[in-house]
């Protein structure tokens, strides 16, 4: 079985994340969307909200499981018997950062990292940009799945 995890903070889930997830499920038998818990990080959305955004967005996709984890990603991979880590790349900066992590993970384990380029038209979207738009009262609905948009 080809089992992968797509780790991240998903604060919040963006259309870029959704793009990678939708394309990733074609490559793997199971895809765990793994929300990392970092006590030192300040999040805009609670863990429960972030998990709900993802679960609702992919409720009709049986290959997807939404989970949370603490610690090293490779340790979590071993725990759930995942052989792959799925990562999205938006730009050359992402590549350099992710390459270093992938090399480290490969050095510490047998787990392979699979990179997908974000689709054209979504490569500018990041969670930090979405949070900034939200903080400043902008229309963020064009950057996130419907499940993330606040209903008045």
Known catalytic residues?
17, 41, 90, 127
Spatial separation of the C-alpha atoms in residues 129 and 115, rounded to whole Å: 22
Closest CA to 86 of 29, 42, 127: 29
């Amino acid at each position: 079985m080809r089992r992968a995890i797509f780790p991240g903070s998903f604060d919040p889930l963006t259309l870029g994340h959704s793009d990678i997830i939708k394309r990733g499920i074609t490559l793997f038998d199971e895809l765990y969307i793994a929300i990392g818990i970092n006590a030192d990080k300040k999040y805009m959305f609670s863990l429960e909200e972030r998990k709900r955004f993802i679960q609702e967005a992919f409720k009709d996709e049986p290959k997807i499981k939404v989970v949370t984890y603490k610690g090293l990603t490779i340790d979590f991979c071993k725990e759930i018997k995942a052989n792959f880590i799925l990562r999205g790349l938006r730009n050359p900066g992402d590549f350099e950062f992710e390459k270093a992590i992938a090399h480290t993970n490969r050095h510490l384990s047998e787990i392979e990292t699979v990179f997908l380029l974000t689709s054209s038209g979504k490569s500018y979207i990041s969670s930090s940009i979405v949070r900034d738009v939200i903080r400043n009262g902008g229309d963020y609905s064009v950057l996130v799945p419907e499940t993330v948009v606040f209903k008045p």
